[in-house]
Structure 1
Amino acid sequence: MTEQLELYDVTIIGGGPAGMYTAFYSGMRDLKTKLIEAKEELGGRMLIYPEKMIWDVGGVTPILCEKLIAQLSEQAKTFDPTIVFGQHIIRLEKQADSTYILEAVTGEKHWTRTVILAIGRGILRMAKLELEGAERYEVSNLHYTVQELEPFRGKRVLISGGGNSAVDWANELASIAAQVTVVHRRDHFGGHEKNVIRMKQSSADVLTPYEITQLYSGNGKAIERVTIAHIESGNSHELEVDEVIINHGLKSDFTGIKDWGLDMDDWNIFVSPKLETNLPGIFGAGDFVNYDSKLNLIAGAFTDAALALNSAKRYIDPDAPRMAYVSSHNERFKERNKALGVSDE
């Protein structure tokens, strides 16, 4: 079987921030690299909120998420890794020589010396609004993500949910919507504290603990008003709306990977400080990993990526340097610097 496959030093599963930066850093370490993404584009979970402003990446001023994805994607391709789309990896088979065969749902196979799992929250699916008939409005004014802000201009927008995305959407839409109302089943919001304070003080009408209990339509095509009910008292009232956004979280699918024998819980694999899993030659990075000093930011994913890749490099070659040389002294950048008209002297 392996005679028909090309052997890679590193195969990265997942094309989010951690996976993309791992591909770049792997090139810095002169490793033959493949990145496999289950979707048809890079970006991972960031694809859910392309118009969100990202503030917390070091050295990068506030940037639209879609632009950050584009820049990370361009950086990931610096050293020409092989990038494969549309393949959901489910099987792992260790070979006699300690290499691995990875297999996708579609049957394609990949041969690699090491694996870096950067799958975030797995195959993500939006949790739907569990009300009878809700699905009929998904083609009109019931939304599970906000791809563009402009369609909500001047509208009465109802947002149901309390996570980061719900809070961010409320803050972003406040300046262009006629009215933004947020309902959440709990008094506590899961978004970043500063953004939650901003939302409550100025951006939206916040109603807690409430939930949507009924949808109404005059023409059967779009939601015109909703009933919301207080979780504790059951008291309810109606709101007139033009657009409804649902952010009830994400359902994750780790089909296949849970059967590999990894030390993991429902959401994460547990790794060492060197981002090693309990399986030799298998490492992790990004939202999928958990360890004592884990930093759950995009910036933290970049650090995870470098640490995991360094461990993979040393797994392949125990005598290799502990980390890549900085870019000003890295041989792989010399020709690229010349192309940019930059002297190394």
Structure 2
Amino acid sequence: MVRILENKIYDITIVGAGPVGLFTATYALMRQAKTQVIESLSEVGGQVTALFPAKQIYDVPGYFKISGTDLISNLKEQTDFFKPEIHLNETVERFEKDDDGIFHIQTNQRTTLSRSIILATGVGAFEPRKLRVENAADFENKSLFYSVPDILMFKDKNVIIAGGGDSAADWTIELSKVAKKVTLVHRRDQFRALESSINKIKDLANVEILTPYMIDGLEHQNGQTQIRLKRSRTKDEYQTLLADALIVNYGFKTDSSVQKKWNLETIHNQIKVDSTQQTSIKGVYAIGDNAYQEGCVDLIACGFGQAPIAINHALETIYPEKRQPTHSTQLMKNFNIE
């Protein structure tokens, strides 16, 4: 066992600070559990912050629509009231349970102690699938982007979006509201995105669809980017476009190698859980996209619902003699709210 760098024993350690992880921290702290959050990225928000901060989300209860940025901002404001202990840029590498039932959690920075663990890691470590053009790195974060941190960056610009899935279609629709022109490029004639989205795109006056083309080269030209397109399944049929910005939405690739070291039972690369969200290791819970539970779908709303189940079961197991209310109106009586 690695040397312990702190003596504090947490009731709950939450791994992951995406939307589900943040709400889990809120409810755990509302239950007055000694709680810490460990996040491998440099900021909270998980996939929402990294991949689609400006995208509108329509399946979060209480909101007809809300942008990813606003959702994370609201969740963080809610969590911050309880003064959470969040450790960023820290990766959980492994954990072991000692004879007293305490988990020794080893990260890339320390070893910490906890009576239970809740894994809210989503799909694991991830990064966008990048454009396979030799000099693409020279354009990244200048005129080539893999996410949209601020939709107003593209106001009155000529924008090209590459991709055929829901993300590419959604960004085409959203950016058409501020951009001068949007061109959607896909290597196939058929899109993977919802048919209703593609039909909507076809009705937009400032949007052009180019299929079947793939990006073959990038060049700088008079402050813009010249994009060479090659027609799919042809030998030498090309065309070029000038754009102020290129957004590539080829999806993302995940790395679950760290999760495999945790020795948890899995189904279809997800962590198997029971009705209490407990995994094959007693005291370790999984919620959100990384948890496999028959009938559950990968929605933020599902993860929100799983969080109180895991927390309440964990605390009942840790403190069987302690009976505490679980409704927010009763729990918040313990806090000074004006």
Question: Does the alignment reach a TM-score above 0.5?
Answer: yes
| Alpha carbons of structure 1 residues 279 and 191: separation in structure 2 relative to 1, 3 Å | farther
Matched letter for residue 134 of structure 2: E
Matched letter for residue 24 of structure 1: T
Please give the alpha-carbon distance, in whole angstroms, between the structure 2 residues aligned to 1:281 and 1:295: 24
Q: 1:118 aligns with which of 117, 120, 124?
A: 120
Residue number in structure 2 paired with 1:312? 314
Aligned pairs, how many? 333
Residue number in structure 2 paired with 1:59? 62
Give the Å deviation of 1:196: 4.3
Moved more, 300-309 or 196-205: 196-205
Please give the alpha-carbon distance, in whole angstroms, between the structure 2 residues aligned to 1:156 and 1:33: 47
Please give the alpha-carbon distance, in whole angstroms, between the structure 1 residues aligned to 2:198 and 2:59: 16
Written as runs of structure 1 = structure 2, the 5 A alignment for 1:136-285 is 136-186=138-188, 189-191=191-193, 194-202=196-204, 204-218=207-221, 223-230=225-232, 232-233=233-234, 236-242=237-243, 243-264=245-266, 267-285=269-287
| Alpha carbons of structure 1 residues 157 and 8: separation in structure 2 relative to 1, 3 Å | same
Please give the alpha-carbon distance, in whole angstroms, between the structure 1 residues aligned to 2:294 and 2:268: 17
Secondary structure class of the residue paired with 1:256: helix
Deviations 1:203-225 (A, max 9, x none): 73334443222333346x75213
Over aligned residues, Cα RMSD in angstroms? 2.6
Percent identity, aligned pairs only, is: 33
- Unaligned residue ranges in structure 1 (runs of 5+): 341-345
Residue number in structure 2 paired with 1:334? 333
| Alpha carbons of structure 1 residues 248 and 30: separation in structure 2 relative to 1, 3 Å | same
Deviations 1:79-135 (A, max 9, x none): 3332211211111122121211111123x1111011111011222212111111111
Q: For the Cα contact (< 8 Å) 2:5–2:112, is it kept in 1?
A: no
Q: For the Cα contact (< 8 Å) 1:226–1:240, is it kept in 2?
A: yes
TM-score by length of 1: 0.86
| Alpha carbons of structure 1 residues 181 and 3: separation in structure 2 relative to 1, 3 Å | closer
Residue 98 (structure 1) aligned with residue 110 (structure 2): no
TM-score by length of 2: 0.88
Q: 1:73 aligns with which of 76, 81, 85?
A: 76
Matched letter for residue 126 of structure 1: P
Secondary structure class of the residue paired with 2:139: helix
Matched letter for residue 318 of structure 2: I
Q: For the Cα contact (< 8 Å) 1:215–1:227, is it kept in 2?
A: no
| Alpha carbons of structure 1 residues 334 and 201: separation in structure 2 relative to 1, 3 Å | same
Secondary structure class of the residue paired with 1:228: strand
Q: For the Cα contact (< 8 Å) 1:128–1:248, is it kept in 2?
A: yes
Please give the alpha-carbon distance, in whole angstroms, between the structure 1 residues aligned to 2:193 and 2:303: 19
Deviations 1:4-54 (A, max 9, x none): 421011000000011011111112323111111112321111113222222
Secondary structure class of the residue paired with 1:5: coil
Q: For the Cα contact (< 8 Å) 1:15–1:118, is it kept in 2?
A: yes
Matched letter for residue 332 of structure 2: F
Residue number in structure 2 paired with 1:6? 8
Residue number in structure 2 paired with 1:130? 132
Give the Å deviation of 1:172: 0.8
| Alpha carbons of structure 1 residues 7 and 197: separation in structure 2 relative to 1, 3 Å | farther
Give the Å deviation of 1:201: 4.0
Matched letter for residue 108 of structure 2: V
Please give the alpha-carbon distance, in whole angstroms, between the structure 2 residues aligned to 1:234 and 1:120: 41
Please give the alpha-carbon distance, in whole angstroms, between the structure 1 residues aligned to 2:253 and 2:210: 25
Please give the alpha-carbon distance, in whole angstroms, between the structure 1 residues aligned to 2:290 and 2:87: 20
Matched letter for residue 326 of structure 1: H
| Alpha carbons of structure 1 residues 234 and 317: separation in structure 2 relative to 1, 3 Å | farther
Moved more, 207-216 or 244-253: 207-216
Secondary structure class of the residue paired with 1:217: strand
Matched letter for residue 29 of structure 1: R
Please give the alpha-carbon distance, in whole angstroms, between the structure 2 residues aligned to 1:339 and 1:288: 35
Q: For the Cα contact (< 8 Å) 1:23–1:77, is it kept in 2?
A: no
